[in-house]
Amino acid sequence: MKKLQILMFGAPGAGKGTQAKILSSERHIPHISTGDILREAVSKKTELGLKAKAIMEAGELVPDEIMGGIIRDVLFSDKCKPGYILDGFPRTINQANILDGILKEIDEGYPIVIELDADDELIINRLSSRRVCSECGYIVNLNSLEDPTTCPNCGAKNSFIKRKDDEEDVIKNRLNVYHQTTKPVLDFYRNKAKIISIDAALPVEEVAKKITVELN
């Protein structure tokens, strides 16, 4: 069976993490979230993890080269032998070139790019309606709750809080960054990799079904 390499692509709030988790469960391949592997490298005190920790503690962004090194370590690990779903990297053309070098080093072809396509209005509506339960940390969307006062996970009443990065002005800024620095990455892969584009406005289950059909 051919190794399945997938790169999840889309704006913040398009549903990349959700679809990556579904695919990971279905295909039995790891979901490589950049946030998760960065935290793991820091907690394991790897050489790159310690460098990243010092940079983050200074309030700075982890440089592409260090992030690329952490990605390289994971892609070279045994858990990625059957395949992987990469979520959150590359976010810039420079990161795409770094990943290009890693894949050439591993001697593997380009991953399949799954683009979750959503217009800005949908993203703003989706993220500004997102809340976190202060009791259990469960994340919900108020638009999809029958009872917007009760956490469906732990049953807590009136426990929902809005995170700062879900404020509308912050979302708009994140979208601007996405359009300026991340969206061009799609063009980087345009003539190199297979790109599957799915309408992210569809229900979660429908998006997952369409991805499955395209991959089969």
What's the chain's Rg over C-alpha atoms? 18
Q: 156 lies in a domain?
A: no
Question: Looking at residue 108, what is its pLDDT?
Answer: 78
> Is residue 97 assigned to a domain?
yes
The single residue listed with the structure tokens 């080269």 is: 65
Burial zone of 195 (CB within 10 Å; 0-12 exposed, 13-18 middle, 19+ buried) = middle
Where is pLDDT greater, at 3 or 86? 86
71: CATH: 3.40.50.300
- Residue 27 in domain: yes
d(CA 125, CA 167): 10
- What is the predicted pLDDT for the residue at 16? 93
Task: Give residue-wise pLDDT tens across range 171-185.
Answer: 999 899 899 999 999
Burial category of 25 from C-beta neighbours within 10 Å (exposed 0-12, middle 13-18, buried 19 and up): exposed
| Digit-coded pLDDT (tens) for 126-158 | 999 999 999 998 989 898 899 999 999 999 999
Query: Which residue did the predictor score with more confidence, 52 or 5?
Result: 5
Provide the pLDDT for residue 107: 80
Distance in angstroms (rounded) separating the CA atoms of residues 160 and 136: 10
Contacts of 51 (CB under 8 A, 6+ apart): 66
Confidence band of 1 (pLDDT split at 50, 70, 90): low
- Residue 31 in domain: yes
- Looking at the structure of the chain, the number of domains it has is 1
Q: Which of 86, 80, 69 has the alpha carbon at shortest distance from 31? A: 86
Q: Which domain, by its residues, includes 8?
A: 4-118+181-215
Asked if 123 contacts 175 with a C-beta cutoff of 8 angstroms, the reply is yes
For residue 16, being part of any structural domain is answered with yes
In a domain, 160, yes or no: no
Strand locations in 102-145 (E): 112-117, 130-133, 139-141
Q: Say yes or no to pLDDT of 57 above 70.
A: yes
Instruction: State the chain's mean pLDDT as an integer.
Output: 91
Enzyme catalytic residues: 16, 91, 130, 163, 174
Section 90-117 average pLDDT: 92
In a domain, 15, yes or no: yes
pTM of the model: 0.84
CB 8 within 8 Å of CB 20: yes
